Amino acid sequence: NAHLDSDESALMESLQHRLLEREVYFSSYGMGCMNLATSDSDIEHFQQAVDLALNVVAR
C-alpha cells in the first residue's frame, strides 16, 4: 500500500491473515464490507475476530 511504510504494511498484512483465520475478510487496503442482512451474530463474530487478531498482532 502506497500510504503505509514497510512496518505498517507488515502489520496490516499480519492483521489481514489473522482475520482470515477467523473467517473475516479485510482487504489489503484495510476495508471491509457489511450489508443490510448482517445479523447481531455476524457483528459479534466480526468484533471478536478483530479483538483476537489485534491481540495476536500486538505481541
Q: What is the pTM of this model?
A: 0.76
What contacts 30, CB < 8 A, 6 or more positions away? 12
**Considering the domain boundaries, does residue 1 fall inside one?**
no
For residue 28, the enclosing domain spans: 6-57
The residue type at 10: A
**Considering the domain boundaries, does residue 29 fall inside one?**
yes
Number of domains in the chain: 1
SS3 content of the chain, % helix, strand, coil (to 5): 60, 0, 40
Q: What is the pLDDT of residues 6-24, one digit of tens each?
A: 888 888 889 999 999 999 9
**Considering the domain boundaries, does residue 53 fall inside one?**
yes
**Considering the domain boundaries, does residue 23 fall inside one?**
yes
User: Is pLDDT of 33 > 80?
Assistant: no
